[in-house]
């Protein structure tokens, strides 16, 4: 990733949050309806040991399920940056943060680092509790971590590779399941059709990763990988099956992701369910929202080459549906936080008026 602006190339732990009011973060100490679940949840440590960083705009329909899922599998804190929200995503995150380990940071600009997303990642990595975390993962609201090793917690994945500086989680693309209209409920339960085989290198199959990494081992956080390792020698990066990943792109600001071969592709032990497509009306919302750089480009238009390659409905996968009973416990407690259910209802009204009356060709 090429970082623009006058501070390009400076390690994130040396960047000060100029232009943004200093936010004092409370200890990760949930209260109210969430407290009993956290206290009795196996493996849930009340420290920012494993942290998710995310960027969101107009994601209020999905926030509660997405947060609940990742808390249920063992992440300790979720840090979200938002910009230009029209559906109340920012307000919903603030409400969740009153009693759950969710932290919301507005990201209104200016974007000195070149794009909305790059700015958010710079700001996130300048937070002490992100820099000092044991592990950090940057994902989006349409990505759900699926650990299949051990007890299916994120701790079970990192325990497989104690010597790793980073672990690359490969996308598994989920499609629309032929749905034109979404009536609500769980994304994980609504869209269970996905890729049936690993992608073919050199074909139109989209290949992508996000990376769980030790923040103290790297100088910067990129969209798909950390950047600029701080230790002596190359970083130790493996895929979820334990195979060493190519790290050349992690050593420079240029480029993003990994230069992989077929042998690097795997969904063993864990992967990232990528619900890029969803139903037609939800995809209209995604296109209107714009990409990570705020652009409303043709890549996300229904029927585009990227849409077609990502809209995979080859086989049914209910792996995360099996986790839903535990996730629902989290959801019910999150929705019991004062104001959360009302904020979700308001977002539904906004979505119906703006997108469920639109046509698929809009």
Residue 71 clears pLDDT 80, i.e. is over it? yes
pLDDT given at position 17: 35
- The residue assigned the tokens 């259910």 is 341
pLDDT digits (tens, 9 = 90+) for 275-300: 999 999 999 999 888 766 666 666 77
Residue 102 clears pLDDT 60, i.e. is over it? yes
pLDDT digits (tens, 9 = 90+) for 242-251: 999 999 999 9
Mean pLDDT of the region 288-315 = 82
Average pLDDT, the chain: 86
Q: Which of 134, 139, 121 is nearest to 17 (CA)?
A: 121
Q: Which two tokens stand for residue 99?
A: 């009693």
Mean pLDDT of the region 143-168 = 98
pLDDT given at position 197: 96
Residue 114 clears pLDDT 90, i.e. is over it? no
DSSP 8-state assignment for residue 185: S
- Bridge partners (DSSP) of residue 220 are 227
Tell me the C-alpha to C-alpha distance, in Å, between residue 331 and each of 91, 100, 192, 337, 350. 17, 11, 20, 10, 21
Tell me the C-alpha to C-alpha distance, in Å, between residue 264 and each of 138, 169, 233, 240. 20, 11, 21, 10
Q: Which of 161, 146, 112, 153 is nearest to 321 (CA)?
A: 146
Q: How far apart are CA 169 and CA 13, in angstroms?
A: 25
pLDDT given at position 254: 86
Q: Which two tokens stand for residue 16?
A: 């000060």
H or E element in which residue 52 lies: strand 50-56
Residue 26 clears pLDDT 50, i.e. is over it? no
Mean pLDDT of the region 81-105 = 97
Q: Is 18 left (phi over 0), alpha (psi -120 to 50) or beta?
A: beta
Radius of gyration of the chain (CA): 19
Question: In terms of DSSP bridges, do strands 218-221 and 102-106 run parallel, antiparallel, or are they unpaired?
Answer: unpaired
Residue 193 clears pLDDT 50, i.e. is over it? yes
pLDDT-derived band at 141 (thresholds 50, 70, 90) equals very high
How much of the chain is helix, strand and coil, in % rounded to 5? 30, 15, 50
Range in 12-16, 52-56, 71-75, 111-115 the model is least confident about:
12-16
The residues near 353 (Cβ < 8 Å, ≥ 6 apart) are none
């Amino acid at each position: 990733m090429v970082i623009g602006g006058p501070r390009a190339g400076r390690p994130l732990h040396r960047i000060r949050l100029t232009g943004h009011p200093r936010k004092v973060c409370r200890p990760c100490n949930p209260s109210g309806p969430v407290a009993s679940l956290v206290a009795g949840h196996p493996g849930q440590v009340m420290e920012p040991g494993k942290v998710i960083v995310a960027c969101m705009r107009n994601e209020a329909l999905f926030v509660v399920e997405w947060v609940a899922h990742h808390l249920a599998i063992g992440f300790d804190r979720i840090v979200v940056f938002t910009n230009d929200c029209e559906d109340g995503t920012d307000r919903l995150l603030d409400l969740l943060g009153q009693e759950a380990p969710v932290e919301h940071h507005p990201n209104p600009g200016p974007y000195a680092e070149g794009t909305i997303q790059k700015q958010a990642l710079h700001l996130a990595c300048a937070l002490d509790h992100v820099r000092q975390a044991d592990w950090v993962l940057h994902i989006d609201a349409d990505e759900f971590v699926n650990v299949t090793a051990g007890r299916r917690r994120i701790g079970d994945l990192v325990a497989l590779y104690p010597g790793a500086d980073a672990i690359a989680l490969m996308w598994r693309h989920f499609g629309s399941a032929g749905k034109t209209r979404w009536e609500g409920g769980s994304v994980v339960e609504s869209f269970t059709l996905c890729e049936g085989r690993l992608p073919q290198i050199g074909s139109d199959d989209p290949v992508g990763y996000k990376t769980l990494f030790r923040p103290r081992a790297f100088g910067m956080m990129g969209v798909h990988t950390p950047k600029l390792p701080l230790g002596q020698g190359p970083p130790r990066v493996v895929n979820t099956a334990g195979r060493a990943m190519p790290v050349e792109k992690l050593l420079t600001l240029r480029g993003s992701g990994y230069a992989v071969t077929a042998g690097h592709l795997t969904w063993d032990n864990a992967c990232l369910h990528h619900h890029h497509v969803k139903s037609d009306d939800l995809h209209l919302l995604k296109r209107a929202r714009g990409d990570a750089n705020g652009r409303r480009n043709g890549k996300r238009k229904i029927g585009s080459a990227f849409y077609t390659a990502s809209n995979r409905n080859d086989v049914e996968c209910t792996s995360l549906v099996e986790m839903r009973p535990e996730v629902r416990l989290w959801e019910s407690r999150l929705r019991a936080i004062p104001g959360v259910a009302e904020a979700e209802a308001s977002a539904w009204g906004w979505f119906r008026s703006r997108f469920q009356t639109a046509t698929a060709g809009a």
